[in-house]
Amino acid sequence: MDSITRALHARVDDTHAKPAVTPLYQASAFEASSPFFYTRKSNPNIAEFEETVRTLEGARHGVAVSTGMAAIRVCLDQLRPGDEIVVNSYVYGCSFKLIQRLAARMGWSLKVVDLSEPSSLKQFTPKTRMLFFETPTNPFLKTVDIRAVSSAVKALNPEALVVVDNTWATSLFQHPLEHGADISLHSATKFFSGHSDVMGGILLTDRDDLEEACRAERFYSGAVLAPHSAWLLRRSLQTFSLRMEHHQQSTKEMARFLRDLPQVTRVYYPEVDGHQLMGYGGIIFFDLRKDLVGRYPDFIARLELFGTGTGMACVTSMVAQPYTGSHASMNDEEKAQMGLDRGTVRLCFGLERLIDLQKDVKAALEHIDMQQR
Ligand SMILES: Cc1ncc(COP(=O)(O)O)c(C=O)c1O
């Protein structure tokens, strides 16, 4: 046989290699006898990532997809023309835009209501087929009572699906399925990754029919998580609880610290009730004193430890203005309706020493206050 042919077929028998951790399966296809068959269906790294998150959140099933937005899209694919979808007034800008675009194209009726207000339950109807919300919300960290909204909508339509974007609370601090949600989803790009170097998403459910529907949607749409991303995410999850405990501690302390600064008029921190939301960490919002709002560019320029841009939930801290960042895809009127203006600042705390973060933020706020005088 020619050496070229032999080289093409050369393989090492790794049956007895027994690596200490699951290696990266950078393969698109598997032998016909393998349960994995084709990576668009699944692979060992994807399955291991799913198993890890499923275990953390106490869910029966996990279905990993390419990004957080892909996870939301897979949920929305469960809707049919004419269905009614209720979305919380406070959601990530791209989630809202995706729902709004699809609603127009698919003939869904879209209702935007503040689900943190008990009176909003009156807006549900027997035609409501999906509730979509984050809790705590982006922005403002308002909390939604998952049990209350689930019971109310299912009393009117037992087929209604309750979908919670659990990205910000994370699997460590909140288990939406235990409170009546049908699907809990995550942008794994955020705290699960924790290092700003990988994108991913995951859907969790206790229902076999929904797992099957999500897997089919992933397979046919091609929105599968890449094996290398799954491998990186699994690796990051090994330190997830340690990172989250650190984020929680810094976030609590920073919220207290910011409340006492004269340049800050309001700090947003979620209600940690110890029942639905068992803890919280990573991200807070604050409002700049009115006269300082125009100084936001000087504020971020003066910060030394906070990176700018859309990234968050990583080992280093980030600052952002939701008005021009996470919610840029919404128009001015939509932002005004949710009460979002240029004075609201988002801070995401990394793993730096708390004292250094406090000094940095204080110095930048004092700097713009001095400029203003
Ligand atoms: C709450 C929330 N959900 C979903 C997403 C979308 O996730 P991805 O960027 O992984 O598609 C984001 C992104 O910032 C988010 O903050």
| CB distance 92 to ligand 1 below 6 Å | yes
| CB distance 88 to ligand 1 below 6 Å | no
Compute the distance from residue 327 Cα to the ligand 1 centre, in Å: 11
Q: What class has domain 44-237? A: alpha beta
At 3 the three-state DSSP class reads: helix
Does the pTM surpass 0.85? The reply is: yes
Each residue's pLDDT tens digit, 49-71: 999 999 999 999 999 999 999 99
Amino acid at 241: S
Confidence (pLDDT) at 309? 76
Compute the distance from residue 132 Cα to the ligand 1 centre, in Å: 14
Report the nearest atom of ligand 1 relative to the CA of 138. 1
Confidence at 310, pLDDT banded by 50, 70, 90: confident
> What SS3 string covers 278-301?
CCCCCEEEEEECHHHHHHHHHHHH
Residue of the CA atom closest to atom 9 of ligand 1: 68
Lateral strand order in the sheet of 201-205: 61-65, 201-205, 183-187, 161-165, 128-134, 84-88, 109-113
Rounded to an integer, the average pLDDT of 295-313 is: 92
Token look-up 């406090």 returns 358
Compute the distance from residue 187 Cα to the ligand 1 centre, in Å: 5
Token look-up 């491998």 returns 231
Domain ranges of the chain: 44-237, 240-372
Q: Whose CA is closest to 52, among 251, 237, 188, 226? A: 237
Residue of the CA atom closest to atom 16 of ligand 1: 92
Rounded CA-CA distance 176/57 in Å is 9
| CB distance 199 to ligand 1 below 6 Å | yes
Each residue's pLDDT tens digit, 140-161: 999 999 999 999 999 999 999 9
Confidence (pLDDT) at 148? 98
Each residue's pLDDT tens digit, 226-284: 999 999 999 999 999 999 999 999 999 999 999 999 999 999 999 999 999 999 999 99
| CB distance 165 to ligand 1 below 6 Å | yes
Rounded CA-CA distance 7/197 in Å is 35
Confidence at 329, pLDDT banded by 50, 70, 90: confident
* CATH level 3 topology of 240-372: Aspartate Aminotransferase, domain 1 (3.90.1150)
Q: What percent of the chain has pLDDT over 90?
A: 92
Rounded to an integer, the average pLDDT of 33-41 is: 94
Cβ proximity of 351 and 243 under 8 Å: yes
Sequence-ordered alpha helix ranges (H) in 161-222: 170-173, 208-221
pLDDT at 91 over 80: yes
Cβ proximity of 112 and 118 under 8 Å: no
Confidence (pLDDT) at 278? 98
Confidence (pLDDT) at 325? 84
| CB distance 68 to ligand 1 below 6 Å | yes
Residue of the CA atom closest to atom 8 of ligand 1: 68
Q: Do 44-237 and 240-372 fold alike per CATH?
A: no
Which element (helix H / strand E) includes 319?
A: strand 317-320
Strands 61-65 and 201-205: antiparallel
Confidence at 72, pLDDT banded by 50, 70, 90: very high
Chain mean pLDDT for the chain:
96
pLDDT at 77 over 90: yes
Compute the distance from residue 36 Cα to the ligand 1 centre, in Å: 28
- The angle formed by the CA atoms of residues 95, 204 and 225, to the nearest 5 degrees, is 70
DSSP codes, 99-162: HHHHHHHHT-EEEEE-TTSGGGGGG--TTEEEEEEESS-TTTT----HHHHHHHHHHH-TT-EE
Compute the distance from residue 190 Cα to the ligand 1 centre, in Å: 8
pLDDT at 356 over 80: yes
Each residue's pLDDT tens digit, 170-229: 999 999 999 999 999 999 999 999 999 999 999 999 999 999 999 999 999 999 999 999
Rounded CA-CA distance 172/147 in Å is 19
pLDDT at 47 over 90: yes
Beta bridge partners of 184: 164, 204
Beta bridge partners of 205: 61
Confidence (pLDDT) at 318? 96
Confidence at 44, pLDDT banded by 50, 70, 90: very high
Compute the distance from residue 68 Cα to the ligand 1 centre, in Å: 5
Compute the distance from residue 117 Cα to the ligand 1 centre, in Å: 24
Amino acid at 183: I
pLDDT at 112 over 80: yes
